[in-house]
Amino acid sequence: MEKNVGIPIRLLIIEDSEDDALLTLRQLRKGGYDPVYRIVETPAALENALLEETWDIVLSDFHMPSFDGREALRIVRERGLDVPFVIISGVLVEEDAVEILKSGASDYVRKGNWSRLIPAIGRELREARGRREQQRAEEQEAEAQERYRNLFESAVEGIFQSTPAGRFVTANPAMAVLAGYDSPQELINSVRNISNELYVHSESRDMMLEILEAHGMVSGFEVEVYRKDGSRTWIVINSRGLFDDSGKLELIEGFVVDISKRKRAEAELANMNQQLEQLVADRTSELEQKALELEQANRRLQEVDQNKTAFLSSVSHELRTPLTSVLGFAKLIHRDFCKVFLPTSGVDEKMNRMGDRICDNLDIIVNEGERLTRLVNDFLDLVRIEAGRMNWDDQRVSPTRILKGAADAVNGLFVETPGLDLVFDVPEDLPDMTIDPDRMTQVIINLLNNAVKFTHKGHVALRAAPDTESDAIQIQIEDTGVGIPVDDIAKVFSKFHQVKGQEGKDIGTHGSGLGLSISQQIVEHYGGTIRVQSEVGQGSTFFLTLPLNRE
Ligand code: ADP
């Protein structure tokens, strides 16, 4: 048994003699082949064999009863197959051999000449393989070319080749569209000098050529170009130079992208920026102007305020001195007249009545004089505080002592008002604080006085407690008096504000409308706050917060 170790080969044998065919097969096996084969002897069988399978080689007899080798070759070639076709024939005249080779047979070998047939088959197979490979390579190349052509044709970027002199060598459709031409061919034919006809500034192209010559490539080169219709557009070019053997620039090839939209957006942005800057500049100068005006107004106000302070201060001083002597003499006259002179006036009714009237009038003078003195003193206090000229005699003191002192000072008022109690609710151990004791007493007395003045019955309470959380003491002066209408609450701390139509009682001190204002200034000087809660008919509570440890 022969072993199948040979080269596989698919063999189509056209032969009317099976013996001859088998002989050939045997020789082939001997020659190192391992054939898979089919033997056909009619055109129809040949057609089928070609249709059903592919063959590496066809070996054909020339003279057969039903058809000859010429006919067989025609059938094979008509199918478009370039499979090696080797004629094996007994007798073949020279002309037939030449003719059949001309019409496409690969070779012919005499029957029985095995030493020629085997190498011939090898050669044919090799050549066929070579042909197939070459064909495949060609197909691949054609495919690649087709791919590149597609890429070139359908690219959205413009692709071009141009000469340094300024003619297009190639251009793709996108390039033509970009420049406003109908086709690449039209672009190539129409533009004879790219620098002059396409570039808005021909120097730009010179510059690009210079860069190409120096560096071999240019990227991101932005230029403005004319389109066919004369309109302008911005493009960006990425290109490289191709040089001849002597190093001379021969061709420029590259990509072009239309950036007119981006350029327009950039221009709009720049424009907007400019407008914005202008707007900001306008606003800034407007603001500067306003600030200047404000500063001037402020300076004028300060001047006015200083003038006012100086005026009030001098007027108050000027008033105080004569007032002191008027009041002093009025008191003296009152005492001399009412206590010494009047009792000696005898029994004349008329004289006594007149004397009493003079006493009453002198009383009024003394009271009004005292009121005026208080007003002037309050005035001076306020002016000094506001002008920062107040002398603060700060000491380490116990707030409890101050609160007690203030309560004692107003105690007489409660004795005079039956039905009104003073509630004193202050712990003994309030922590010490640094403050001017006279000023703090002044604030508390003022608040207690007000409370008594506007409370007819019930109580006035003075309470205090330390507030460890905010490191302060909280003081409350609470009354059950007439209260303050909502509209006035925010105004009671303003200078001279007095609630209209309020039923206060005469406690010998006519208000100046400055007490709360001064109190607020003092409390704020020590970093504290003062506020009021009140309800008409129910009473008022003033809340004071004084920090214990001030920076
Ligand atoms: P005055 O010297 O007139 O009391 P203040 O500045 O001390 O001035 O008070 C201003 C005004 O606030 C008072 O005239 C009064 O109308 C109102 N007021 C102050 N304290 C009380 C209070 N406890 N109850 C009701 N009204 C008050």
Tell me which residue has tokens 């712990």.
427
Taking CA atoms only, the protein residue closest to ligand 1 atom 7 is 515
Whether 128 contacts 57, CB under 8 Å: yes
Nearest Cα residue to 230 out of 180, 157, 174: 180
The burial class, CB within 10 Å (0-12 / 13-18 / 19+), for 100 is: buried
Q: Does the beta carbon of 479 lie inside 6 Å of ligand 1?
A: yes
CA geometry: angle at 147 spanning 141 and 151, to 5°? Answer: 145
In angstroms, the CA 3 to CA 164 distance is 71
Dump strand ranges (E) for 375-508: 395-397, 420-425, 433-435, 458-467, 472-479
Query: Mean per-residue pLDDT for 443-456?
Result: 95
Residue type, 189: N
- H or E element at residue 346: none
Taking CA atoms only, the protein residue closest to ligand 1 atom 12 is 492
Tokens of 296: 């001037």
Tokens of 480: 């059950």
Centre of ligand 1 from the C-alpha of residue 480, in Å: 14
198 Cβ neighbours under 8 A, 6+ residues apart: 179, 191, 225, 226
Q: Does the beta carbon of 461 lie inside 6 Å of ligand 1?
A: no
Query: Mean per-residue pLDDT for 237-261?
Result: 95
Centre of ligand 1 from the C-alpha of residue 492, in Å: 7
pLDDT band with cut points at 50, 70 and 90 for residue 377? confident
Taking CA atoms only, the protein residue closest to ligand 1 atom 14 is 498
User: Could you give the residue ranges of the DSSP H alpha helices within 184-257?
Assistant: 184-190, 194-197, 202-215
pLDDT band with cut points at 50, 70 and 90 for residue 2? very low
pLDDT tens-digit map of 34-90: 999 999 999 999 999 999 999 999 999 988 888 888 899 999 999 888 899 999 888
Average pLDDT, the chain: 91
Q: Does the beta carbon of 541 lie inside 6 Å of ligand 1?
A: no
Q: Does the beta carbon of 444 lie inside 6 Å of ligand 1?
A: no
Rg (CA), the chain: 63
- H or E element at residue 509: none
Whether 396 contacts 434, CB under 8 Å: yes
> Which of 373, 379, 450, 489 gets mutated to test ligand 1 (max ligand atoms within 8 A of its CB)?
450
Which residue would you say has higher pLDDT here, 495 or 478? 478
The burial class, CB within 10 Å (0-12 / 13-18 / 19+), for 205 is: buried
Q: Is 129 helix (H, G, I), strand (E, B) or coil?
A: helix
Residue 439: pLDDT over 90: yes
* Residue 511, phi then psi, degrees to nearest 5: -70, 155
Tokens of 293: 């005006």
> Which of 370, 372, 374, 492 gets mutated to test ligand 1 (max ligand atoms within 8 A of its CB)?
492
User: How confident is the model at residue 507, as a pLDDT?
Assistant: 65
CA 76, distance to chain mean position in Å, is: 77
Residue 458: pLDDT over 70: yes
Q: Write out the DSSP string of 354-384.
A: HHHHHHHHHHHHHHHHHHHHHHHHHHHHHHH
pLDDT tens-digit map of 345-354: 777 888 888 8
Centre of ligand 1 from the C-alpha of residue 486, in Å: 14
Dump strand ranges (E) for 384-457: 395-397, 420-425, 433-435
Nearest Cα residue to 129 out of 56, 194, 204: 56
Tokens of 409: 């000072």
In angstroms, the CA 320 to CA 106 distance is 146
Which letter, b or e, does each residue of 310-326 get, where b requires 16 or more Cβ atoms within 10 Å of its Cβ?
Answer: eebbeebeebbeebeee
User: How confident is the model at residue 534, as a pLDDT?
Assistant: 97
Q: Is 485 helix (H, G, I), strand (E, B) or coil?
A: coil
Centre of ligand 1 from the C-alpha of residue 540, in Å: 10
**3-7, 18-22, 141-145: segment of lowest average pLDDT:** 3-7
In angstroms, the CA 404 to CA 428 distance is 10
pLDDT tens-digit map of 394-420: 999 999 999 999 999 999 999 888 899
Q: Indicate the Cα dihedral angle 439, 444, 447, 452, nearest 10°.
A: -130
pTM score of the predicted model: 0.50
Q: Is 284 helix (H, G, I), strand (E, B) or coil?
A: helix
Share of the chain above pLDDT 90, in %: 68
77 Cβ neighbours under 8 A, 6+ residues apart: 85, 103, 104
In angstroms, the CA 97 to CA 109 distance is 10
Centre of ligand 1 from the C-alpha of residue 279, in Å: 53
Residue 509: pLDDT over 70: no
Query: Mean per-residue pLDDT for 183-201?
Result: 96
Residue type, 136: R
Tokens of 179: 């420049």
CA 213, distance to chain mean position in Å, is: 45
pLDDT tens-digit map of 307-317: 887 887 787 77
Centre of ligand 1 from the C-alpha of residue 455, in Å: 11
Nearest ligand 1 atom to alpha carbon 477: 23
Residue 233: pLDDT over 90: yes
CA atoms within 13 A on the CB side of 319: 18
In angstroms, the CA 203 to CA 200 distance is 9
If one counts every other C-beta atom within 10 angstroms of the C-beta of residue 485, the result is 15
**169-183, 332-346, 424-438: segment of lowest average pLDDT:** 332-346
User: How confident is the model at residue 305, as a pLDDT?
Assistant: 82
Tokens of 501: 């139509």
Tokens of 532: 């009021």
**169-178, 180-189, 446-455, 503-512: segment of lowest average pLDDT:** 503-512
Residue 510: pLDDT over 80: no
Whether 12 contacts 59, CB under 8 Å: yes
Residue 5: pLDDT over 90: no
Long-range contacts of 393-397 (CB under 8 A, 24+ apart): 393/436, 393/437, 393/438, 394/434, 394/435, 394/436, 395/434, 395/435, 395/436, 395/437, 396/432, 396/433, 396/434, 397/432, 397/433, 397/434, 397/435, 397/437, 397/440
Whether 395 contacts 437, CB under 8 Å: yes
Q: In what order do the strands lie in the sheet with 168-171?
A: 168-171, 158-162, 249-258, 232-243, 217-226
Whether 359 contacts 342, CB under 8 Å: yes
User: How confident is the model at residue 1, as a pLDDT?
Assistant: 44
Residue type, 404: K
Q: Does the beta carbon of 447 lie inside 6 Å of ligand 1?
A: no
In angstroms, the CA 110 to CA 134 distance is 30
Q: Does the beta carbon of 477 lie inside 6 Å of ligand 1?
A: no
pLDDT band with cut points at 50, 70 and 90 for residue 98? confident
